[in-house]
Amino acid sequence: MAVAAAFLSSSLLPTTPGSHLTPFTLRSRLRLFTRRAVVVNAAAATLREVCSGRVPDHVLQRAEEIGYVVPTEMQEQSLPLLLSGQDCILHAQTGSGKTLAYLLSIFSTIDFSRSSVQALVVVPTRELGMQVTKVARLLAAKACTVMALLDGGTLKRQKSWVKAEPPAIIVATVASLCQMVERRAFSLQSMRVLVIDEVDFIFGSSKQVSSLRKILTSYSAASSRQTIFASASIPQHNRFLHDCVQHKWTKGDVVHVHVHPVQPMPSHLCHKYVAARHISSQPIQCI
């Protein structure tokens, strides 16, 4: 009712002095506002409606059971592109739904009957990898294998597992992934989706950037896969978009999906302060 009152006061009620609305007119306009609100709510698509026909039903059911029912703005904007196979740069703040968006794209692409590595999610840290793996396994619900390659100490044991039964989805840190590929534990030639999460963090690390470039260009070709970059912050994103195409990290029609961009800091700031005196006569500076 508070929203309705604000709406009426700002857009329906007359503002000329002495004007008024009769109670009947006010009730009529309030009913009109209510009907409009119902229409707007009815028009909002659910996550199932956005993904219908492209993401397996059992994955959508698991998403709903977990609590993913209404898509975020990032998911509304990116999923139609991702589910059509478009290369994308997902650029939005933490908590905007980027992880679910690219995981749904993965599940729409992989063949659950094939025994091969079809999707790869590259993360900068073990902690982020564990979070992504947990969500991926919840959505998969044992329909496919999701393997995490996050710890160098267990790679020898995981190498035998990968060879015996290749997982459909791998979540890996840059170092662990490169070690496994160089040891010929598996091939990425059959990979259909490549996700680089927190791409700005990886490109900002001198230890990881050369290995990431190798993942993007040497282990598989951009023309044979869908490539998805995700990050909360991408400095000079127009330059990054150019580099993606120039260095063939993505296809030429890659799309930058930017939701709620953060306004840049102004180039010049002027700081002022006022000197005041307390009762004790000690100066206090107020900035």
30, part of any domain? no
Residue 222 sits in a domain of what CATH number?
3.40.50.300
7, part of any domain? no
DSSP string, the chain: -HHHHHHIIIIIS--STT----HHHHHHHHHHHHHHHHHHHHHSPPHHHHHTTTS-HHHHHHHHHHT--SPPHHHHHHHHHHTTT--EEEE--TTSSHHHHHHHHHHHHS-TT--S--EEEEESSHHHHHHHHHHHHHHHTTSS-EEEE--GGGHHHHHHHHHHS--SEEEEEHHHHHHHHHTTS--STT--EEEEETHHHHHT-TTTHHHHHHHHHTSS-GGGSEEEEEES--TTHHHHHHHHHHTTSS-TT-EEEE-SPPPPPPS------EEEE-TT--EEEE-
76, part of any domain? yes
Query: Residue 239's domain spans which residues?
Result: 47-258
119, part of any domain? yes
| Tens digits of pLDDT across the chain (287 residues) | 444 444 343 443 344 444 343 343 434 443 443 344 333 344 568 999 999 999 999 999 999 999 999 999 999 999 999 999 999 999 999 999 999 999 999 999 999 988 889 999 999 999 999 999 999 999 998 889 999 998 766 677 787 788 778 899 999 999 999 888 888 888 888 899 999 999 999 988 878 888 999 999 998 899 999 999 999 998 888 999 999 999 999 999 999 999 976 555 556 667 777 777 666 555 555 44
This prediction has a pTM of 0.75
103, part of any domain? yes
Q: What total number of domains does the chain contain? A: 1
181, part of any domain? yes
56, part of any domain? yes
275, part of any domain? no
